[in-house]
Amino acid sequence: QVELVQSGSEVKKPGASVRVSCMASAYTFANYPITWVRQAPGQGLEWMGWINTKTGDPTYSQDFRGRVVFSVDTSVRTTFLDISSLKTEDTALYYCAAVVPSVGGAFDIWGQGTKVTVSS
């Protein structure tokens, strides 16, 4: 079964950093770019950017450029989201999703989400 499995919940203090992982299974990992989407509590979906899983080249949304880094380790079929200098407003669910060409580049395979809580 094609799926993306994300790492577990995190609780961090303001100013700290966090790493969220997203592991792919049951498909050719490099075929699908991975995008990251944030959802604050009770709010909508917010696009953070995407990473080319073949080349490792990232593209960041203007709103997240500077504090967010995407990376990939093809040997373990895993994409990483690193957020530094965390703020309380970074408290959210973070989703990874695969960009699937056969459905016009839509986000057709989603991870289960990783809850990140930033609190002093």
Partner 1 sequence: SYELTQPRSVSVFTGQTAKITCSGETLSNQYAYWYQQKPGQAPVLVIFKDNARPAGIPERFFGSSSGTTVTLTIAGVQAEDEADYYCQSADNSMTYVMFGGGTRLAVL
Q: Is 27 in the site for partner 1 (CB under 8 A)?
A: no
Site for partner 1 in 90-109 (CB under 8 A): 95, 97, 99, 103-108
Span of 8-16, 20-28, 32-40, 78-86 interacting with partner 1 by CB under 8 A: 32-40
3-state secondary structure of 79: strand
Give the one residue of 50, 70, 80, 94 binding partner 1; rule: CB under 8 A.
Answer: 50
Q: Is 111 in the site for partner 1 (CB under 8 A)?
A: yes
Q: Which among 87, 88, 109, 85 has a CA at the least distance from the CA of 98? A: 109
Q: Is 112 in the site for partner 1 (CB under 8 A)?
A: yes
Rounded to whole angstroms, how far apart are CA atoms 118 and 41?
12
CB neighbours of residue 39 within 10 Å = 15
At closest approach, how far in Å is the CB of 65 from partner 1? 12
At closest approach, how far in Å is the CB of 106 from partner 1? 4
Q: Which residues are within 8 A (CB) of 100 and not within 5 positions of it... i.e. 6 or more apart?
A: 32, 106, 107, 108, 109
